[in-house]
């Protein structure tokens, strides 16, 4: 191909390519203001029931999703495990260390509930 012809073509199209590229760059830089809604703090109940493999265990840990809820409200909660076969199992407040497997239970804000009586045989596997 003739270099002189290629040079003429580039001289004609170079300003056009520059303007189109600059225009696209400026069009993509528009900023808009976005407002986020504050999420609601929801109650979470983490219940663990282990039956049929050694000593039966039931624990329920209550906490707030965002951690902004009042922890004292959770201390007065009534926690009950309802069984279709046997009587309901009422749980009482205890140390959070009974529900958590962490080095420092004070790091997590929540309350732990366990049955006051032995639960062996009260709940069945399945």
Give pLDDT tens digits for 57-99.
889 999 988 877 888 888 898 998 887 777 788 899 998 888 8
**Token reading at 52:** 């049929």
Collapse the DSSP code of 37 into the 3-class scheme (helix H, G, I; strand E, B; otherwise coil) and give the result. Answer: coil
**Token reading at 115:** 């049955």
What pTM does this model have? Answer: 0.64
Q: Which of 68, 43, 60 is nearest to 111 (CA)?
A: 60
Cβ atoms 112, 96 nearer than 8 A: yes
């Amino acid at each position: 191909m003739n270099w002189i012809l290629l040079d003429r073509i580039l001289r004609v199209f170079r300003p056009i390519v520059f303007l189109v590229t600059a225009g696209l760059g400026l069009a993509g830089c528009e900023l808009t203001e976005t407002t986020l809604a504050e999420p609601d703090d929801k109650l979470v109940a983490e219940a663990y029931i282990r039956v049929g493999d050694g000593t039966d265990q039931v624990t329920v840990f209550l906490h707030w999703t965002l951690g902004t809820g009042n922890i004292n409200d959770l201390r007065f909660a009534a926690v009950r495990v309802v069984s279709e076969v046997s009587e309901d199992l009422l749980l009482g407040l205890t140390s959070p260390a009974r529900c958590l497997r962490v080095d420092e239970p004070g790091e997590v804000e929540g309350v732990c509930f366990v049955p006051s009586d032995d639960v062996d045989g009260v709940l069945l596997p399945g």
